[in-house]
A and B are shown apart, each in its own frame.
Chain A
Amino acid sequence: MKTRDQEYRELFMAEALEYYDSMSRHLSELERNPNAGPALNELFRLMHNLKANARAMGFTDLGEVAHHLETLFGLIRDQERTFSGPLIRVVFAGVDALGNMIRAVGANQPLPDASALLDNLDRLVRGEAPVLDEVDEGDTEEESNRKMELSDLVYIQVKKLDNLLNLVGELVIDRDRIMTLAQEIGNPALLATAQHLFRISDDLQYSVMDARLVGVGVLLNKFPRVVRDVATAENKEVELTLSGQDVQIDRNILQIITDALLHLVRNAVSHGLETTEQRQAAGKSAIGHLTLSALTERDDVLIQVQDDGRGINTEAVRRKAVERGLITAAAAGSLNEQDVWALLFEPGFSMADKVTDISGRGVGLDVVKLALDSLGGQLRVESELGIGTTFTLVLPTSIAVKGALLIEVDERPYALPLMHTDTVLSLEPSQISVVGGVLVTHVQGLAVPLVPLRLLLHDEGDDVLPLASKSELDGPQQVLVVNYNNRRLGLVVDRFIRQQNIVIKPLSKPLDTIDLFGGVTLLGSGQVCLVLDVPALTRLFLAKRP
């Protein structure tokens, strides 16, 4: 495994070499046509980027040369200098020096000394004549010694990686099938080959997944600007802290949660944090603190948006939800804190009384939930009034492979992503009671409604589910407790099969309109297995409960 440092260095090298090639190209064009504006602008931009990258990596000399050249190109662009005479030679020497320095970085050698060049560049900037060596005998030799080099990195379209990942997914499914067949046939040579295939395809799968990983930083680093803009518009002082930029996650997952994170951050600044006066009145520091952090937890990646603002006013949310008609007043009264907070992420919910540019336009936090649902992720909310709020997005590292629990109902297997499963229970009828027509049990002191999965799957039409009665319960009941948006629901199944990593294939048309199924997977036996979507199951239960 490469260290993060090495990886950054390679990235820097790839970009720097690309910049260097473009510089040489644009410089030649500028020499032919000293008034080529686009080439000049491009050179200025390339110098600027190279300077920034070099300084960030700690290559100060390299950054210094790029900085001087940037200044000089700025002057040429502003027509205070012309691209002619000795200036041309110095600029070419400068770009060559950059090339040598970049190569030195790549070869892990000390950077060549550039003080003479820097002096000349300084002179040019000041409008003095540069001091040039009279004889440039090394020039021709240097020409022939110059190496052509290609970058060690390739840029690749995400689409191509997606395709690769899909192919690997298919391969893994067939591999499992071959493995099962080999075990059935029992031929030792076949079995050995199948096991080898198993290992290779495992490695291949992880390599492809690894190739798709990017640092969360590529997204987090966009937020200082967002926070600054929102804070300015809201007239607040906010200090943003980023951490965990190195945590790796699938590029597409990061893409999908971009909007969700943007919403949470804007929400935190405009609603979560108080104004300076309010903060001082409450005895807090004048500047609000916002932390965006990424960390790993088991196989998941957590992204947290944490503020030290006013916290969620649970009672206000409760009132607002009733006002907006999301729930009845009676139902609202019985909800616990977590359940009330979950309402924040319902479509159509907004706490804003005033509409600002930033928030309160009716586009609510429900986009957060939608994004997470599409990934099979989870949202955690922690909040304390007057202290602050933390939203945690729980995300899978990779889209392709998910841990799942296989269960059986009516002799058919179904898969449930582990991300949404809490616990499995085997309950005696005596541990189950009937409340308002719904089966209920107690898990760790909390009431959890139970529903036979069979009923949810085969329910047709708009009628509510039949009233449950204990007389239907015969013997111990196998219950899988699922968790979605802090709501727990116990699914009564016929039997648990096993836990397994599965590759989810999306359902193709026309069946993709049924939201109860997140996709299908193929089991080693070749059997088609439907993957249940816990958010949809939970919603169906809430809509249909008697």
Chain B
Amino acid sequence: MADIELSVPAAKPERVKPAELVQLIVFRLGDEDYGIRIEQVKEVTVTPEVARMPKTPPFIKGIANLRGDIIAIIDLEERFLLRPAGRAVPERSYTVAVEAADYILGLMVREVPRPFTLPQSQIEAAPDFVQDSSTRDKYLEGIAKLPDGGIIIVLDMRKLLTPSEVMRLPGKSASS
């Protein structure tokens, strides 16, 4: 299982302010780009064989053996209902292993995640109405606006991955 090189391209010579740069691992969920700070990412790999685990919500794809660590693989598209109807999970997917406080979790993504460096100043705090703090923790760190007009939604993994958040059962509609 080959790791994908996490080589980071040289910072663009926009302004000489190196201390302000942020490195993200960017991947696609649904039709948007999402990013996680590289410090929170342990490894990016082709998704290993996943064993479906009974008694877990459907967005938990199962467990997999990542170098001896047994980790849960979760599908954020399903978790946040981002996957357009009819689009299937591809045969070959990738897993971004992220480190939560005291455990590791794998995020399954459909395309090869890529590293991206941008100045901290480009990340704007997410507008309040996006964050419904009564039901979801504030796991959106902010939104990065790119020069070409695109955006990257920056997630704060440590807030997304509390055990209660991960295990939240999506009602009784669950069937597997």
Q: How many residues of B contact A (CB 8 A)?
A: 30
Task: Write the nearest CB–CB distance from B114 to chain A, whole angstroms.
Answer: 28
Task: Write the nearest CB–CB distance from A142 to chain B, whole angstroms.
Answer: 57
Residues of chain A in range 493-546 having any CB-CB distance to chain B below 8 Å: 505, 507-511, 513-514, 516-517, 520, 522, 526-530
Is there contact, CB below 8 Å, between B56 and A511? yes
- Per-position 1/0 for B143-176, Cβ under 8 A of A: 0000000000000000001011011000010111
Q: How many residues of A contact B (CB 8 A)?
A: 25
Query: Is A460 part of the binding interface, using a Cβ–Cβ cutoff of 8 Å?
Result: yes
Query: Is A461 part of the binding interface, using a Cβ–Cβ cutoff of 8 Å?
Result: yes
How far apart sit A516 and B166, CA to CA, in the bound complex (Å)? 18
Is there contact, CB below 8 Å, between A513 and B163? yes
Contact of A528 among B60, B70, B164, B166 (CB under 8 A): B70
How far apart sit A528 and B104, CA to CA, in the bound complex (Å)? 17
How far apart sit A399 and B130, CA to CA, in the bound complex (Å)? 49
Is there contact, CB below 8 Å, between B53 and A511? yes
Is there contact, CB below 8 Å, between A528 and B51? yes
Is there contact, CB below 8 Å, between A513 and B167? yes
Query: Is A36 part of the binding interface, using a Cβ–Cβ cutoff of 8 Å?
Result: no
- Per-position 1/0 for B59-103, Cβ under 8 A of A: 010011100111110000000000000000000000000001011
Given the interface pairs A526-B65, A528-B49, A528-B63, the reply to whether A510 lies near B54 with Cβ below 8 Å is no
Nearest residue (CB) in A for B51 is A528
Nearest residue (CB) in A for B165 is A510
- Per-position 1/0 for B16-53, Cβ under 8 A of A: 00000000000000000000000000000000010111
Nearest residue (CB) in A for B57 is A460
Q: Which residues of A contact B69 (CB under 8 A)?
A: 508
Task: Write the nearest CB–CB distance from A185 to chain B, whole angstroms.
Answer: 18
- Per-position 1/0 for A252-295, Cβ under 8 A of B: 00000000000000000000000000000000000000000000
Is there contact, CB below 8 Å, between B174 and A460? yes
Residues of chain A in range 447-465 having any CB-CB distance to chain B below 8 Å: 457-458, 460-461
Task: Write the nearest CB–CB distance from A57 to chain B, whole angstroms.
Answer: 45
Query: Is A170 part of the binding interface, using a Cβ–Cβ cutoff of 8 Å?
Result: yes
Is there contact, CB below 8 Å, between A530 and B51? yes
Is there contact, CB below 8 Å, between B55 and A527? no
How far apart sit A508 and B172, CA to CA, in the bound complex (Å)? 25
Is there contact, CB below 8 Å, between B54 and A458? yes
Q: Which residues of A contact B164 (CB under 8 A)?
A: 510
How far apart sit A310 and B55, CA to CA, in the bound complex (Å)? 45
Given the interface pairs A508-B70, A513-B163, the reply to whether A457 lies near B55 with Cβ below 8 Å is yes
Q: Which residues of B contact A520 (CB under 8 A)?
A: 63, 70
Is there contact, CB below 8 Å, between B163 and A460? no
Interface centre among A507, A510, A529 (most CB of B within 10 A): A510
Is there contact, CB below 8 Å, between A514 and B102? no
Task: Write the nearest CB–CB distance from B130 to chain A, whole angstroms.
Answer: 25
- In the complex, given contacts A173-B68, A528-B49, what are 12 additional A-B residue pairs having Cβ atoms less than 8 angstroms apart? A174-B68, A457-B55, A460-B174, A508-B103, A509-B100, A510-B163, A514-B56, A516-B55, A517-B55, A522-B65, A528-B70, A529-B51
Interface, chain A (partner B; CB < 8 A): 170, 173-174, 412, 457-458, 460-461, 505, 507-511, 513-514, 516-517, 520, 522, 526-530
